[in-house]
Amino acid sequence: MSVYAELKQWQTAIGSLLGFLALMVAALWNFHLNRRRDAALRAEETNSIAAALYGEIVLLRKQVAHVARAVAAIEASHDRKLDKHFLEAHTLSEPVLYKALAPKIGLLSSDLVIAITERGGPGFRDRMAAWLRWILVSITPPISPALGR
């Protein structure tokens, strides 16, 4: 029997095998492309989260700087005392984005998460608000003077 005759008998099996191999290669290539797309989407989401949190931290720091300048101006002028009306007029806004994005902080790198939680976010706002209340009532400071840590 010749090789051609033998191949002709196995023609269906060979075609099925080649078709199956082509499907496997196509599926693996599709998985590779999906993983690459997912990695790009995750990187984009991570950058968006970091930018949003950074923007909120910058706004909180600007508000704290504004309050600090107002406190310094009042103390320097000696015309007016710090009172509860001053505290009501100079409240710090709540960190809305930080609370909304808290479940997604795990997507960020560890050094970025540490920087956000130590120097920004609700902890920073709460420390500043506590210091402002301490200035107004002259009680023992609620935290150490090293605010920036």
Whether 110 is in a domain gets the answer: yes
Residue 91 has phi, psi (to 5 degrees) of -85, 155
Whether the pTM exceeds 0.85: the reply is no
Whether 41 is in a domain gets the answer: yes
Q: Which two tokens stand for residue 149?
A: 């840590």
pLDDT for the residue 123:
64
Whether 146 is in a domain gets the answer: no
Q: Would the CA dihedral through 80, 82, 84, 87 be positive or negative? A: positive
**CA angle centred on 24, ends 21 and 30, rounded to 5°:** 145
Number of separate domains in the chain: 1
Contacts of residue 143, defined as CB under 8 A and 6 or more positions apart, other chains included, come to 127, 130, 131
pLDDT tens figures, 11-64: 999 999 999 999 999 999 999 999 999 999 998 998 888 888 888 888 888 888
Whether 75 is in a domain gets the answer: yes
138: left (phi over 0), alpha (psi -120 to 50) or beta: left
Whether 147 is in a domain gets the answer: no
pLDDT tens figures, 69-120: 888 887 777 777 777 777 778 888 888 888 888 888 888 888 888 777 766 5
Contacts of residue 108, defined as CB under 8 A and 6 or more positions apart, other chains included, come to 46, 49, 50, 116
Whether 128 is in a domain gets the answer: yes
Whether 10 is in a domain gets the answer: yes
Residues 64, 128 contacting (CB under 8 angstroms): yes
Domain that holds residue 70: 3-137
Does pLDDT of 137 surpass 60?
Answer: no
Residues 84, 136 contacting (CB under 8 angstroms): yes
Give the CA count within 13 Å in the CB-facing half-sphere of 4.
0
Ordered DSSP codes for 13-42: HHHHHHHHHHHHHHHHHHHHHHHHHHHHHH
Whether 22 is in a domain gets the answer: yes
pLDDT band at 148 (very low <50, low <70, confident <90, very high): very low
Q: Distance (Å, rounded) from C-alpha 142 to C-alpha 68?
A: 17
pLDDT band at 4 (very low <50, low <70, confident <90, very high): confident
Q: To the nearest whole percent, how much of the chain has pLDDT over 70?
A: 78
